[in-house]
């Protein structure tokens, strides 16, 4: 859950810094190419091991909502599943509300699962 909280925090900073709403991709929160400054395309808020979409045997699936008429992204969802599910592991769901939800069942967690915090 620490990685999910890190993504939530990075999203809040990204939204305030770039005034475009939430990031369009998880990679947009990552490290910029060497020799370039942080930007909306690579904000330098998370390390690339997390923004790659896979960390600690979990897969992170980020989906930004559709941009509004001004180009602002107002919603996002984040699904986190084990690479290989087994009893005792959890699946997580997060969205722009910042509430982390989860299930120990072998299925994707959703907004309908109970909050874990």
pLDDT per residue as tens digits for the range 19-39: 999 999 999 999 999 999 999
For 86-117, give one letter per residue: b (16+ CB within 10 A) or e: eeeebbbbbbbeeebbbbeeeeebeeebeebe
Structure token pair of residue 59: 């897969």
Q: What's residue 110's pLDDT? A: 97
Tokens 């990031």 found at = 23
pTM across the whole model: 0.92
Give the residue from 25, 16, 2, 13 showing the smallest Cα distance to 77: 25
Contacts of 25 (CB under 8 A, 6+ apart): 62, 64
Nearest-angstrom CA–CA distance, 70 and 33: 28
Q: What is the mean pLDDT of residues 55-64?
A: 95
Whether the predicted pLDDT of 117 surpasses 90: no
pLDDT per residue as tens digits for the range 67-105: 999 999 999 999 999 999 899 999 999 999 999 999 999
Question: How distant, in Å, are the alpha carbons of 63, 72, 81, 84 from that of 103?
Answer: 20, 31, 10, 15
pLDDT per residue as tens digits for the range 4-24: 999 999 999 999 999 999 999
Q: What is the mean pLDDT of residues 100-115?
A: 97
Q: What's residue 1's pLDDT? A: 81
């Amino acid at each position: 859950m620490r990685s999910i909280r890190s993504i939530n925090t990075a999203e809040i900073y990204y939204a305030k810094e770039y005034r475009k709403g939430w990031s369009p991709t998880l990679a947009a929160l990552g490290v910029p190419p060497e020799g370039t400054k942080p930007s909306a395309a690579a904000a330098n808020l998370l390390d690339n091991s997390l923004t790659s979409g896979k960390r600690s045997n979990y897969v992170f699936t980020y989906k930004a909502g559709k941009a509004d008429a001004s180009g602002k992204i107002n919603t996002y969802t984040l699904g986190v599943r084990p690479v290989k599910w087994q009893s005792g592991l959890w699946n997580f769901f997060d969205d722009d509300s910042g509430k982390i939800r989860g299930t120990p069942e072998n299925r994707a967690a959703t907004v309908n699962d109970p909050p874990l915090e």
